[in-house]
Structure 1
């Protein structure tokens, strides 16, 4: 679904059965992505009602090992959750999750998911345990390219110290 949502922007991609997915894009989108795509689930209990989560595990990461997203070869790691029943993608700031534990949870509020479903895009500011603020972006599939641009913009703002 990720590739079809970017129809017209994909120049090439790696084997879709391998993870992470490497995607070369055209137009205004970042040219080289390494996509870490997870199912966004909303299991009962443990967290707020309806809160969605993904569980971070990267290829080759064993239990009790730390994981990192690979940015080699000039590829930008893109951390994505997907809820297939309503075709909504969630984009977190991958660089804010260095050296993570096996199966680490990353969350998004249900309001953010439903805002994207109803209006095309949704945004949430999350406070991480480090005290940093992360902007999470959710998008209906037809607006995935816009969400990728927003994700890139928010990451650059964080890196260069811009507010808002």
Structure 2
């Protein structure tokens, strides 16, 4: 990271949450700061304050992570009204058109941005549980893309296992017969979880689904 370290990066966790966690819905600025704090020395260069407020966030990273990743970080929530009780979810709202232009809310379909060959990471963070959930971005915008505010879900047992063991992964059936493997992890295991997420996504691509 750069020579000037911002104060939010070195605050004790309780103090950081007290100062930066919004009273209601998590902002991009908060979620991105949580992400960077979790990655620690895995972040090679800090983004600007302006970049922290915008989704997605591109980060320059250090080994063993890829040099750059594009993070779509949303607040993960749990709703009893979901078809599977206790399911955790995020709602995808940001993407680009098929030709790579920013998609407005009026666009019916959108895709994760892969400009400059930077891999997108679809991620949720649950502030109450202090836990990250990582979905397979490739599966959620393959072919026809995704709709605005699309629900992306994970079974609760994957989350509970991560809370108990710090990191976990498990499968969920998607429409069309595909199976998605989802990864969940506490912040101190996030680098490991990201590499696992990437390996699992690469395996799916090698199986010829794309």
For Structure 1 versus Structure 2, the TM-score category normalised by the shorter chain is over 0.9
Any residues of structure 2 matched to 1:132-147 within 5 Å, and which?
132-147=178-193
- Looking at secondary structure, tell me which structure has more strand per residue: 1
Q: CA RMSD in A?
A: 1.5
Any residues of structure 2 matched to 1:10-159 within 5 Å, and which?
10-14=43-47, 15-58=51-94, 60-63=103-106, 65-98=108-141, 99-159=145-205
**Gaps spanning 5+ residues in structure 2: where?**
1-33, 96-102
Larger Rg computed on CA atoms:
2
**Gaps spanning 5+ residues in structure 1: where?**
none
Q: TM-score, normalised by structure 1?
A: 0.93
Q: Which has the higher contact order (CA 8 A, sep 6+)?
A: 1
Whole-Å separation in 2 of the counterparts to 1:46 and 1:8? 37
Q: Say if 1:87 and 1:122 are closer, same or farther in 2 by CA, change over 3 A.
A: same
> Could you tell me whether the CA contact under 8 Å between 1:41 and 1:53 is conserved in 2?
yes
Whole-Å separation in 2 of the counterparts to 1:70 and 1:128? 22
Whole-Å separation in 1 of the counterparts to 2:155 and 2:40? 28
SS in structure 1 of the partner of residue 122 of structure 2: strand
SS in structure 2 of the partner of residue 5 of structure 1: helix
Structure 2 residue 48 is the aligned partner of structure 1 residue 2? no
Superposition deviation, residue 53 in structure 1: 0.6
Displaced runs of 4+ in structure 1, greater than 3 A?
Answer: none
Paired residue total: 162
Whole-Å separation in 1 of the counterparts to 2:155 and 2:67? 30
Whole-Å separation in 2 of the counterparts to 1:93 and 1:29? 17
Q: TM-score, normalised by structure 2?
A: 0.74
Superposition deviation, residue 13 in structure 1: 4.3
